[in-house]
Each structure stands twice: as C-alpha cells, then as structure tokens.
C-alpha cells in the first residue's frame, strides 16, 4: 500500500506531496512511521482501559494544529522514533503478551497504509486483540474505508461545530463537515450498538469524545445537538473534563485557565436536557497533566 504515500491524500488536508520521495506535508510524516510511546495505558474510558490497560501506540505527527494540544510534543514537534511495519507488528504482539485488553492506535491517520501492513503481519503471527482507532475526528472518508475490517472500535474526538472556532483553535475551517462525515462512515462500518465482553470491555463499537473547553460551552451544546439528531442513542458519548491549559493555550483566551466546575456541570446538564442517554463523565479532578505520558519512545 506504499503507493498511498505518493502523492499523499490520506487526510482532508490533501497535501498531495510525494512522501516516497522525501516530501513532507502538513502533518510532517515521512515514509516510516514515527512512534512516541507504546505501553499499557490506563487513562482511557473504563470500557477501553479496563484493569489491564489499553495497548496504546502513540504516533507522532498530526493533521490538526490545536493550540491547546496536550500531546503537542508529538503532534507538533514529532518526538519519537521511526519504525517499519514489521517492527510495529512485533510491538503489537509484545503489547498482547503484556495482557492489555486491546491495541489502541492513537492519531495514526498519517500512517494508515503502514499500520494496515503491520496489522496483517501481526495477525498472521497470532494477534487476536480488538483494535481501537483513537482519532482527532479530522479524517478522510476514503482513508477510513481502507480500515474497514481492521478496526473494531472507533474513538473519534468531536471538538467543534463553528468554522470560526475550528479555524482559530485548530487551523481547520472545515473541521465540522469533515468530522461529521467521518463519524457517519465509522458508524456504517461498525454499526450503532456497542458490544462488550464479560469484563465490560468494548470489543466493537464507537465512542464519541468531546473535550469541554473553558469559555466554549456554546460549542459543546452544538456538538451534543448534532449527536442527538444524527447518531443512534446506543452510541456512548464521552464528555471530558480533563482540559488543562497547555502548549499555546495562554495565547488564546479564555483557554489560558482551567475549566470551572460550573462549566462542566452546565455541559452535563446540556447532555441530559437534550435527552442523550448513553455516555461517560469525568470528575473535574481529571484536569491534571498526570495523564500526559512521558514521551520516551519506548
């Protein structure tokens, strides 16, 4: 599938650069995958991390430029080490041997063809865990179609609706139409009803995440309103309170402060007022940098 890299149209940016010839587009990705960390991860939703952790693989490079990104060291600066598909396949197997519940591909969009090659190799060598595709939501439908049959659980963010906000905070005017088309494609592949094993771990389904941002409660209500109108009630929504001022956030008020408890209470009230029924909430104490991994490339 190396041909997908030159010219590269894997994401909505559509840079068209020839990564096979060393050209670099918006995300900064080259031919080899850049990975910042691979380890059991315990900070996802309970149905993903469980008791043994999710086998998280954090990829470096991103097609968004969120000014508050809590993983900016890898999304903006691309810290990590380069891996071949074969090396990644053996890393999947190593995580499986550690007893994790699943393989969790975190922001893998720039590397979908190589990830598919790695999954094919790993499955041939005995990988049998569910695969979670942990995404910013800013995904090309055409690229998502390549993942059909490879991904068991989609975990997309849904950040904003207003183009003025997505432009200011993520340099993506088209975020809303792109993310809504992506979620619809994910639903068409996976179906509306999540499947859980006997331990309560999701093995198939989609969980939509929304990070509540300080001063942007109107965007939260718009996101939840779209979900209410377009997504089956059986799809869980994860309403996240873990925002911390990070990276360039202080330059974009009101993002330079923590989320106030009252703001998160209003976000939860909007969830219930709209009649949404299935989801996850966080304690406001989740707003800490403790959950940000040490990017040691191990």
Band the pLDDT of 139: cuts 50, 70, 90.
very high
Average pLDDT, integer, range 199-222: 98
Taking the C-alpha atoms of residue 51 and residue 39, their distance in angstroms, rounded to an integer, is 14
Round the average pLDDT of the chain to a whole number and report it: 95
Global pTM reads 0.95
Between 259 and 5, name the one with better pLDDT: 259
E strand intervals along the chain = 33-41, 54-59, 81-83, 103-106, 131-135, 153-156, 195-196, 202-206, 208-211, 237-240, 279-281
Looking at the predicted structure, is the pLDDT value of residue 83 above 80?
yes
Looking at the predicted structure, is the pLDDT value of residue 140 above 80?
yes
Whether 54 and 132 have beta carbons less than 8 Å apart is answered as yes
Band the pLDDT of 18: cuts 50, 70, 90.
very high
| CATH fold of the domain at 32-291 | TIM Barrel (3.20.20)
Per the structure block, which two tokens stand in for 113? 């063809």
Whether 247 and 217 have beta carbons less than 8 Å apart is answered as no
Whether 158 and 210 have beta carbons less than 8 Å apart is answered as yes
Largest CA distance in the chain: 53
Neighbouring C-beta atoms of residue 101, cutoff 10 Å: 24
Per the structure block, which two tokens stand in for 79? 């810290």
Looking at the predicted structure, is the pLDDT value of residue 237 above 90?
yes
Between 61 and 77, name the one with better pLDDT: 61
Looking at the predicted structure, is the pLDDT value of residue 208 above 80?
yes
Looking at the predicted structure, is the pLDDT value of residue 77 above 80?
no
Looking at the predicted structure, is the pLDDT value of residue 285 above 80?
yes
Share of the chain above pLDDT 90, in %: 89
Nearest to 165 by CA among 153, 179, 151, 152: 179
What is the per-residue DSSP string for 255-280? TTSPPPHHHHHHHHHHHHHTT---EE
């Amino acid at each position: 599938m190396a041909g997908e890299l030159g010219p590269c149209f894997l994401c909505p940016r559509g840079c068209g650069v020839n990564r096979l010839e060393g050209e670099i587009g918006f995300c900064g990705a080259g031919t080899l995958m850049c990975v910042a960390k691979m380890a059991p991860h315990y900070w996802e939703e309970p149905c993903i991390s469980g008791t043994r952790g999710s086998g998280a693989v954090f990829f470096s490079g991103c097609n968004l430029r969120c000014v508050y990104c809590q993983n900016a060291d890898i999304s903006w600066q691309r810290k990590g080490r380069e891996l071949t598909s074969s090396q990644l396949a053996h890393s999947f197997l190593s995580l499986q041997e550690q007893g994790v519940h699943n393989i969790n591909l975190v922001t893998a969009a720039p590397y979908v063809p190589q990830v598919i090659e790695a999954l094919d190799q790993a499955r041939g060598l005995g990988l049998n865990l569910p695969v979670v595709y942990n995404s910013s939501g800013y995904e090309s439908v055409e690229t998502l179609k390549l993942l059909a049959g490879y991904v068991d659980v989609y975990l997309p963010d849904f950040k904003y609706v207003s183009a003025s906000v997505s432009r200011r905070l993520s340099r993506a005017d088209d975020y809303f139409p792109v993310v809504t088309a992506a979620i619809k494609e994910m639903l068409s592949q996976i179906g509306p009803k999540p499947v859980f094993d006997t331990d309560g771990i999701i093995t198939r389904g989609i969980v939509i995440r929304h990070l509540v941002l300080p001063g942007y409660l109107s965007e939260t209500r718009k996101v939840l309103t779209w979900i209410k109108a377009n997504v089956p009630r059986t799809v869980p929504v994860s309403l996240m309170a873990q925002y911390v001022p990070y990276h360039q956030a202080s330059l974009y008020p009101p993002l330079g402060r923590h989320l106030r408890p009252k703001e998160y209470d209003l976000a939860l009230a909007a969830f219930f007022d709209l009649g949404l029924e299935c989801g996850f909430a966080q304690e406001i104490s989740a707003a800490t940098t403790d959950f940000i991994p040490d990017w040691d490339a191990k």
